[in-house]
Amino acid sequence: MDWTDCTDAGCQIHLGEKQGSGWYPQFTRRSRKPSVAHDHDWRQEMEANPGEDWAPKQQPRQRRARRAHGNLTSWEPCFNDNCKEHQWEKVDAGYYSRQMGEKGELSMSDRREQRKRKAVRIRLEREGSQKTKETLETQISDLRSHLDRAAQIMVAKDNDLERLDKEKEKLQQAYNRCKQRMRQIGVMLWKEGV
């Protein structure tokens, strides 16, 4: 017997395979059969612990979390035309994918949706481009005003530099005159012998 046919949750022979898959086969409602192995475990537990609750203690069955269809595959290998996960990708592409790389035609309702989505996309692009033009114009005018301010600051700094150069020349001339006068005084004092 295969483990997928074994509906006894406590079967030690198939327990490893059931735990590995995370799936425990069960009876259908039509074919309920008594489980001899389960009855045997129950009797052993009842005889070992006569004063305790005789109901068998079972762990709650845990299922593996299923991954969503959208996480398993992209829209191109999804061959279900009515797939809600990939509907808009197929509509935007303009075809349903088929197994041999062929392209299936969109349904009438999906073609209508494609036209609507395309019209909305074009309208949004136009609005976006107008907003972009206005934004660019304001940015350009702001940059021009910044450049004007920078040019004015540069002219003022140039004027300051010219003024400072003239003052430096005057101070250099005054320094040279003082130096010359100090030499003359030094020579006079030397001559007098002081």
CA dist 107 to 20, 74, 104, Å?
Answer: 43, 20, 9
Mean pLDDT across 114-137: 76
CA end-to-end distance (rounded Å), the chain: 134
pTM for this model (two decimals):
0.33
Residues 6+ apart with CB under 8 A from 54: 42, 45, 46
Residues 6+ apart with CB under 8 A from 23: 63
CB-CB neighbours of 14 under 10 Å: 20
> SS3 for 104?
strand
Query: Which has the higher per-residue pLDDT, 94 or 73?
Result: 94
Digit-coded pLDDT (tens) for 173-184: 999 999 999 999
